[in-house]
Amino acid sequence: SSASLTELDARYHFARDVATAAASRAFSWYQQRQQLVVEHKKDPQDVVSEADRNVEQLIKYMITERFPDDAVLGEESGGDTQGARFVWVVDPIDGTSSFINGLHNWCVSLAIVCEDEAVIGVVCDPNHHELFHACRGKGAWVNDKRIQAHSAQQLNQGVLGISSSNSQPAEPLTSFISALLHQGGMFIRTGSGALMSAWAAAGRLIGYYEAHMNPWDGLPGIVLMREAGGVTNDYLHNDGLKNGNPVLLANATLYPQLKAMLPASFPL
Ligand code: IPD
Ligand code: CA
Ligand code: CA
Ligand code: CA
């Protein structure tokens, strides 16, 4: 994409401010989570609260005030992306189920797409005071430390992050997990796909797989993993920004091994 350095820099800087402010607002709600009225969407496992909507409003307000021509697409309130050069894709709370149940595994997740390329990814975890961030060509970071994908050369040398949701068929995950276990692999599922993807970029997990991710959950990890020296699928192809896509993240050695384990009916 042709975004100039100053255009990108300004947004990279501001994206970190927005994620930090949003995470701090979300953390205040988290401390009062017992008082929250929890509703569910189509599926009883798919929960949402006033905290999600309120934090998304804050994020949208901050971005539109600073960059009025940029578009914002959020999980809770959608958004019109047509004609905008920069599209901010945001999830105010990724891991709402963890959030509501008092598990410290949730984050604010944010990415920027410029002319069909994901250029910035930010994930803020206020419980552990960690801000993961990456911008095209500038490396991947947690706070002020550089991060790198895991160095494992075999699937049995670490833990893979995985997720699924009830709106997705069970099959790709059940056969994938079976293949993984048969090769001596191990997995973790925390409730926040965006945060696990950031952990993969930081080399804490050997990678990440989810058969379908929405763009506000999937895009930050795509940018983080590429800048951390790893490999990802081409997430934005086939209208990924609109429809979502699968996500596979790993280092260059493990990526093809993991890809080969996907059932044929659920390609990348
Ligand atoms: C969910 C998380 C979870 C994934 C689900 C998502 P939410 O997001 O990312 O890891 O498995 O598919 O819906 O609803 O907590 O923002
Ligand atoms: Ca949700
Ligand atoms: Ca999410
Ligand atoms: Ca969410």
Q: What is the pLDDT of residues 171-205, one digit of tens each?
A: 899 999 999 999 999 999 999 999 999 999 999 99
Q: What span, in angstroms and rounded, lies between the C-alpha atoms of 96 and 51? A: 9
Best residue among 55, 75, 94, 216 to mutate for probing ligand 1, ranked by most atoms within 8 Å of CB = 94
Nearest ligand atom owner, CA of 96: 1
Q: Is 144 annotated as a binding residue?
A: no
Assess whether the C-beta atom of 191 lies below 6 angstroms from ligand 1. Answer: yes
Nearest ligand atom owner, CA of 52: 4
Spell out the domain ranges in the chain. 5-147, 155-259
Q: Is the ipTM of this complex over 0.95?
A: yes
Q: Is residue 138's pLDDT more than 90?
A: yes
Q: Please give the distance, rounded to the nearest whole angstrom, from the Cα atom of residue 255 to the centre of ligand 4.
A: 27
Q: What is the pLDDT of residue 111?
A: 98
| Degrees to nearest 5, angle at CA 73 with 228 and 166 | 80
Q: Is 252 left (phi over 0), alpha (psi -120 to 50) or beta?
A: alpha
Q: Is 93 annotated as a binding residue?
A: yes
Q: What is the pLDDT of residue 42?
A: 86
- CA torsion sign, 74 to 64 to 15 to 127? negative
Assess whether the C-beta atom of 91 lies below 6 angstroms from ligand 1. Answer: yes
Assess whether the C-beta atom of 161 lies below 6 angstroms from ligand 1. Answer: no
List phi, psi (to 5°) of 193.
-65, -40
Q: Please give the distance, rounded to the nearest whole angstrom, from the Cα atom of residue 43 to the centre of ligand 2.
A: 10
CATH of range 155-259; options 3.40.50.2300, 3.40.190.80, 3.40.50.970, 1.10.760.10: 3.40.190.80
Architecture of the CATH domain 5-147 = 2-Layer Sandwich (3.30)
Task: Give the β-pairing of 117-125 and 38-40.
Answer: unpaired
| Residue 161 Cα distances to 102, 136, 154, 201, 258, angstroms | 20, 24, 15, 11, 12
Question: In this predicted model, what pLDDT tens digit does every residue of 61-88 receive, in sequence order?
Answer: 999 999 999 999 999 999 999 999 999 9
Assess whether the C-beta atom of 163 lies below 6 angstroms from ligand 1. Answer: yes
Q: What is the pLDDT of residue 1?
A: 56
How much is the mean pLDDT over the chain? 96
Assess whether the C-beta atom of 193 lies below 6 angstroms from ligand 1. Answer: yes
Closest among 130, 111, 142, 115 to 232, alpha carbons compared: 111
| Residue 264 Cα distances to 172, 178, 261, angstroms | 9, 15, 9
Terminal CA-to-CA distance of the chain, rounded, Å? 23
List phi, psi (to 5°) of 196.
-65, -35
Q: Is residue 2's pLDDT more than 90?
A: no
Question: In this predicted model, what pLDDT tens digit does every residue of 4-62 receive, in sequence order?
Answer: 779 999 999 999 999 999 999 999 999 999 999 999 988 888 889 999 999 999 999 99
Around ion ligand 3, residues with a beta carbon closer than 5 Å are 91, 94, 217
Q: Is 91 annotated as a binding residue?
A: yes
Write the single-letter amino acid at 243: N
Q: Please give the distance, rounded to the nearest whole angstrom, from the Cα atom of residue 3 to the centre of ligand 1.
A: 30
Q: Which two tokens stand for residue 249?
A: 């993240």
Q: What span, in angstroms and rounded, lies between the C-alpha atoms of 130 and 127? A: 8
Q: What span, in angstroms and rounded, lies between the C-alpha atoms of 119 and 108? A: 17
Assess whether the C-beta atom of 165 lies below 6 angstroms from ligand 1. Answer: yes
Q: Please give the distance, rounded to the nearest whole angstrom, from the Cα atom of residue 115 to the centre of ligand 3.
A: 23
